[in-house]
Amino acid sequence: MFLEVTYLFLIPINVNYVSMFNNALGGINMQHIILRLPHVIKRTGLSRSSIYLRMANGEFPESVSLGGRAVGWLESEVDEWIVTKIEEGRINDHG
């Protein structure tokens, strides 16, 4: 049995993320976008130290090791965290 696995890594010049596309097992597609720290800082408005402090306290998504000293965050988890913060802020503002 032959299993074809294709990985595609895209690193755009102006946007700091890696897109991984896995087309394994005959058409099952999974896409994950990994954001590097500068992009996470821009999206969340948090500083580097705030991100790591919140991670240590379980208040921010855990980073994913990319090998060596490189880490990133799943875009979907960062987006979910942002939505949660927006919802919490609106609940607190409206009582």
Instruction: Give 27-51 pLDDT, tens digit per residue.
Output: 555 688 999 999 999 999 999 999 9
What is the mean predicted confidence (pLDDT) over 57-73? 96
Residues in the chain: 95
- The pTM for the full model equals 0.68
| Amino acid present at 61 | P
Residue 60 predicted with pLDDT over 50: yes
Helix axes 37-44, 75-94, angle to 10 degrees: 20
SS3 state at 74: strand
Residue 2 predicted with pLDDT over 80: no
Cα separation, 90 vs 95, whole angstroms: 8
Provide the residue ranges of all domains of the chain, joining segments of one domain with +. Answer: 7-94
Cα separation, 65 vs 95, whole angstroms: 40
